[in-house]
Amino acid sequence: MANETHFFSTTPSTREEILEATFYALCEHGYADLTISKIGDHFNKSQSLIYHHYEDKDDLLLDLLEYMLEEFESQVPVSTQSPKAYIYEIVDQIFGDAEGSNAQFSKAVLELRAQTAHNEKYRELFRRSDEFVQKQIALVIREGNEQGVFDVEKPKQAAALFQTVIVGVQGQQTINENNIIGSSKIEFRRYIDQCLISSNE
């Protein structure tokens, strides 16, 4: 199977091979129609290995979610760039490209986020991840404040809007007609330039 997304290892462990198969099966069939057998169709080894590692569908999906969120968290760029270049890089990552691997990732995340309405375990993982991302972005903004590049009274509050926009983009990537995402990105850059960047810059 082609490694179409960039977040699976090129030398995967069995666990990672199972998770990769689950990811593609989830993208193809959706949460409701997903079965271990359909995951097996994307898995090169014996299907019994999946049952050996996981109790049921949700057990497997929760491990996939944890893996994806860790990858997502690690993508918050750790950079030696200036906070301004850094925040623009975050924006590029948030909005991604509608056709590429970001869209695949968003599709899977959207499916799993919908489970938060009914399952506390999904809710707990997303809550942890959302808070992590918010903290990371607040950190960048604070750093920019200290360097005089940004002038933001409440960095955590600004980071909350970033977090809402991240979720919004993920929810729109399956229906990106009329390029709402592209226009949103330009407008969000305008917000950054007018509401975050210091007027001395």
CB closer to its own copies out of 29 and 142: 29
> Is 27 near its own copies (CB under 8 A)?
yes
The region, left, alpha or beta by phi > 0 then psi within -120 to 50, assigned to residue 96 is: left
Task: Tell the smallest beta-carbon distance from residue 168 to its own copies (Å).
Answer: 3
> Is 72 near its own copies (CB under 8 A)?
no
Q: What single string gives the DSSP state of each residue in 60-111?
A: HHHHHHHHHHHHHHHHS---SS-HHHHHHHHHHHHH--TTSHHHHHHHHHHH
Could you give the 3-state DSSP secondary structure of residue 154? coil
> Is 191 near its own copies (CB under 8 A)?
yes
Q: Which of 161, 155, 172 is nearest to 113 (CA)?
A: 172
Task: Tell the smallest beta-carbon distance from residue 11 to its own copies (Å).
Answer: 29
Could you say which of 36, 139, 160, 197 contacts its own copies (CB under 8 A)? 160
The answer to whether the CB of 94 falls within 8 A of the CB of 169 is: yes
Interface ranges with its own copies (CB under 8 A): 27, 29-33, 107, 110-111, 113-118, 123, 126-127, 130-131, 134, 154, 156-158, 160-161, 163-172, 174-175, 177-178, 180-181, 183-184, 186-188, 190-191, 194-195
